[in-house]
A and B are shown apart, each in its own frame.
Chain A
Amino acid sequence: MIDNVGSATELFRLMPENCRLYLSEKGLLRVSIPQKEYEGRAFLALAFPFETKVEYIAVQNEAKEELGMIVSLSDFDSETGTLVEAELKKKYFAPKILRITKLQEKYGSTFWDCETDHGPLSFTVKDTHRSFLRAGEDRIFVVDHNGCRYEIESISGLDKKSHSKIELYL
């Protein structure tokens, strides 16, 4: 049915034939799309960041206007794939919580001390119940008061002590 609604829904699908993604000398991602007469900085955005990091990747210009969409990263060679994945990793950077060493509730905020894959980190979460982003049945993102995200890859995979500290908020 969606096929009948006209060209408004059509994606400009980026393929190796119509675009080239590369790094500038100083390591910033750039894209060249001859069909759109564009060559410049490339900014990436995932359409379904919780579901997939290799599909439906929007490529935008500096003004965040969409230049096209990578429907599947497998359309591209592994070198481009690595570039895109590295850029997405930076964009969606979220330290992974490995262990919660201390979780204290005070004044409606919770104060977290955690072991993460980026070393020990401390942060404050306001309105804790509403600061968990569910990315599936077992995976959540904790959003601190600054808007920084921390990932718990598997709630059930946490050690017992850490689990008991957050279960009241889940």
Chain B
Amino acid sequence: MKPMRKIPAEVTEVFRKKGVFTEDAPIFIRTDMGREEFYCDAYTVLVPEGIATLFCSFDLRGKRGASLFSRERTEKVFREIEYVFVPLEEVEEIKVEEQVSVLRTVLKRKSGEEEILFWAGAACRSDVYRFSEGLASYLKEGKVPEEPVEQKDLCPRCHMPYADPRHRICKKCMGKKSLVKKLLPFFFRYKLQIALVFLSVLLSGAVSVITPYLNSKVLYDEVLTPGSSLYGQILVLVLSVASAALLSAFIKMVNTMVGAKVSSFVVYDLKKTIFSSFERLSYSFFTSRHTGRLITQINSDAETLYWFFCDGVPYFLTNILQIVGVIAVMLWTAPLLTLFVLLPVPFVFGGYWVTLRLFRRLHAENHTHRSRFNSVLSDVLGGMRIVKAFSREEAEVARFDAKSRELAGSTLHINLRNHTVFPLLNLAVRLSTYMVWGFGGYFVLKESLTPGSGISYGELNLFVSYLTMLYTPLNFFAGFFNHMASGLNALQRLFEIMDTEPEVKEKDDPVELECVRGDVEFSHVNFSYAPGKRTIHDVSFFVPAGQTLGIVGHTGAGKSTLANLLTRLYDVESGRITIDGVDIRDLSFQTLRRHVAIVSQETYLFRGTILENIRYANPEATREEVIRASRAAGCHDFIMSFPEGYETVVGFDKKSLSGGEKQRISIARAILKDPAILILDEATAAMDTKTERHIQSALEKITQNRTTLTIAHRLSTLRDADFLIVIQGGEVVENGTHQALLEKEDGVYHKLYRLQMEAMRTIGIEE
């Protein structure tokens, strides 16, 4: 059994007092609900005498006398709620009943009486199923199956359980600091360029502080003041200011160019690393996520990061330097007036902060309204045929109108706020300028009356210029924190993909097989997509090399899952699958992919020519081989009917092919791969009977002397299989040849065959 968390000493003690010794327990489980639906701790142990459950709680309370800063300032207070014991000789079985959010574990006594043992939250689902299976095995065989010790659900660093074990991200260990740490290697590749950006930021800061000094203080107090050393040197001043402006422009240009280049490369590297992660990840990762969302996520997150690093970070540094420089020069020029200038800064900054938060909310609302509006639009346009067929135009117009109104209202709201809040803020900034003019004017007058007691006109002008330089960065900072938050979130999402561990992994030293005969064996294979919901149960069969196995069963019986397991899209839970006697988990991915090909009902053609699509399986194939494969798959003739032949471009907005045509191309693709083992998973299901028959004869040629697993709905497809297995509820319920199975009159296969033949006859097709 998988070791669950330890039983706390208090619980062990209660059990001991009741005569239940937990050290004798082959299995135990901790769940999170009581006998009724309320949250509490529940420990259920299986001991040789019976099943004991203790419902209890550990309430947290402050420890008396402990210091507020002490680590042990709280203590857990144990409280026993209920104890239940059922002798083992009375237990028939334990059933797990799924509710919408929670699970109910029902104990059935040998007397037939049923009772609720405990409820459990969905988080305990896999443990509950493991417990009930363990108990079933204990009741039957007197022992619990051994399972390898796994600690996959604990963070290796802090040993805390993951919030989601399938998504091994530790909330505690993955802070923003570690994010930056992870990102740094991407930047370190561009050390020189980054050093250049920093240097240019420094220079740019210095130039921006010097310029107002030149065109205010030097102009008024030196160049225009008779008697000073620079009096009349207008040309020198103009040239200096122009040079500073030129230098500033040049630095900014270098800064922007290098910054943009580094950001582009870093984002490119990130995207590349993420795409490589996609290749590494297991199929289950993609089935549990929406593909469109993944695409948007990568694109928009990478964009967000690009703008954050390109626009955000360099300007952040420039602005910081600018503020520090400006305040330093101001303090040096007139400390008292500087204080007056700085006085309203916190209020203005606070104003910007609050405003931006408000706008963030308004924009989020607007985004929601826009999404709803867009989904109504795409709904109606996509379903126009149905709208017209059911004469629902008016209702759809009304639906569209409602969403459109909401969007318009929200946009108007933003615009109104925009035109009231920002002018008010600007007024506040201007007021502080007026304050500077007022106090500054006073100091200038004072200076003219008593030289040395105030400031000059040039210095006052300098202050006003600096004031603008002080408030512009404040506006930037208030917005920057929002950008930073979204930038870090984008980073988190991107690293999520990179850090996810693939569920199906290649062995460290995998077996490479050059030639494969094609013996396939499933031995006691068990598998479930979701915990407790077993899809494949104890399936065993052997297909000798070169033979064809037909797999029959209802929809959802688990037929395609067998194909998924053989191709290692998923790994078996227990049991093994071998190819030529080697466990497929020991084989390299390359060996497996080279020797096993699948043609499924869902065909996918990549954007490109038919030739490229067929060659996808074997890019080295000659043109003649492609044509031969196409002829075998029965697609040569229709390909040749296109003006561009094999160079016809398929895909969206280009040449559209029918389902049957696409299927035949994908069969050609599989033939070209020349695999030792071929899986045909409902390969002809999308075709009409005539086309199916046409392809069937082609498939018969291909499958000769090749191990083939044919999964089919239509039993007529499987008549020529060497052997058949019938799957029902994930189990093999019948096996034998077509003839032998038909002779079993009460058999599943016989019934299915009869039903299908009758259906075919009804539509006028005789087998």
Contact = CB atoms under 8 A, between A and B. Distances in A.
Interface of A: 24-28, 41, 43, 89-94, 104-109, 111, 118-119, 121, 124, 126-127, 130, 144-149, 164, 167-168, 170
Interface string B106-140: 10000001111000011101000000000000000
A119 B32 CA distance: 13
The 6 closest A-B CB pairs, nearest first, are A26-B115, A146-B122, A124-B163, A148-B122, A107-B496, A108-B493
Contact of A148 (B97, B101, B364, B368): B101
Given A93-B37, A126-B164, A130-B293, A148 B492 contact: no
Given A90-B37, A94-B101, A167-B364, A146 B174 contact: no
Nearest to A124: B163
A167 B361 contact: yes
Contact of B102 (A126, A148, A167): A148
B495 interface: yes
Given A108-B496, A119-B39, A167-B365, A25 B167 contact: no
A28 B171 contact: no
Nearest to A30: B114
B101 A93 contact: yes
Interface in B138-164: 163-164
A157 B382 CA distance: 36
A28 B492 contact: no
> How extensive is the interface on chain B, given as a class?
35 or more
B290 interface: yes
A127 B496 contact: no
A164 B101 CA distance: 26
Contacts of B368: 170
Given A28-B116, A94-B100, A146 B290 contact: no
A17 to B, nearest CB: 27
B492 A108 contact: yes
Given A145-B163, A147-B122, A168-B364, A26 B114 contact: yes
Given A91-B99, A146-B122, A109 B289 contact: no
Interface of B: 37-39, 97, 99-102, 104, 106, 113-116, 121-123, 125, 163-164, 166-167, 169, 171, 174, 289-290, 293, 297, 361, 364-365, 368, 489, 492-493, 495-496, 499
Contacts of B104: 90
A28 B122 contact: no
A121 B121 CA distance: 12
Given A90-B37, A93-B101, A119-B39, 17 more contacts: A24-B113, A41-B114, A92-B101, A107-B493, A107-B495, A108-B492, A109-B169, A121-B39, A124-B164, A126-B167, A130-B293, A147-B122, A148-B102, A149-B100, A149-B101, A167-B364, A170-B368
23 contacts: A26-B114, A43-B97, A90-B99, A91-B99, A91-B100, A104-B171, A106-B169, A106-B492, A107-B174, A107-B493, A107-B495, A107-B499, A108-B297, A119-B39, A124-B163, A126-B167, A147-B125, A148-B102, A148-B123, A149-B101, A164-B361, A167-B361, A167-B365
Contacts of B297: 108
A111 B175 CA distance: 13
Nearest to A151: B101
B465 to A, nearest CB: 39
A106 B101 contact: no
Contacts of A109: 163-164, 167, 169, 496
Nearest to B297: A108
Given A27-B116, A130-B290, A105 B489 contact: yes
A109 to B, nearest CB: 7
B101 A111 contact: no
A1 B448 CA distance: 99
Q: Identify the interface centre among A25, A104, A119, A146: most chain B CB within 10 Å of its CB.
A: A146
A124 B121 CA distance: 14
B641 to A, nearest CB: 43
Contacts of B499: 107
Nearest to B113: A26
Contacts of B115: 26-28
Given A106-B492, A147-B101, A111 B113 contact: no
Contact of B39 (A25, A41, A118, A144): A118
Contacts of B100: 91-94, 149
Nearest to A24: B114
Contacts of A41: 114
Contacts of B125: 146-147
B153 to A, nearest CB: 13
A49 B259 CA distance: 55
A43 B433 CA distance: 75
A131 to B, nearest CB: 12
Nearest to B163: A124
A108 B499 CA distance: 12
A28 B125 CA distance: 21
A90 B100 CA distance: 9
A28 B164 CA distance: 33
A29 to B, nearest CB: 11
Contacts of B364: 167-168
Nearest to B489: A105
B123 A146 contact: yes
Contacts of A25: 113
A156 B493 CA distance: 29
Contacts of B121: 146, 148
Nearest to B164: A145
Given A105-B489, A106-B171, A126-B164, A28 B114 contact: yes
A107 B113 contact: no
A109 B115 CA distance: 38
Nearest to A147: B122
A7 B502 CA distance: 51
A102 B99 CA distance: 28
A111 B171 CA distance: 8
A121 to B, nearest CB: 8
Max chain B Cβ within 10 angstroms of own Cβ: one of A107, A118, A124, A146: A107
Nearest to A41: B114
Given A146-B123, A148-B101, A26 B116 contact: yes
A49 to B, nearest CB: 8
A107 B169 contact: yes
Contacts of A148: 101-102, 121-123
A145 B167 contact: yes
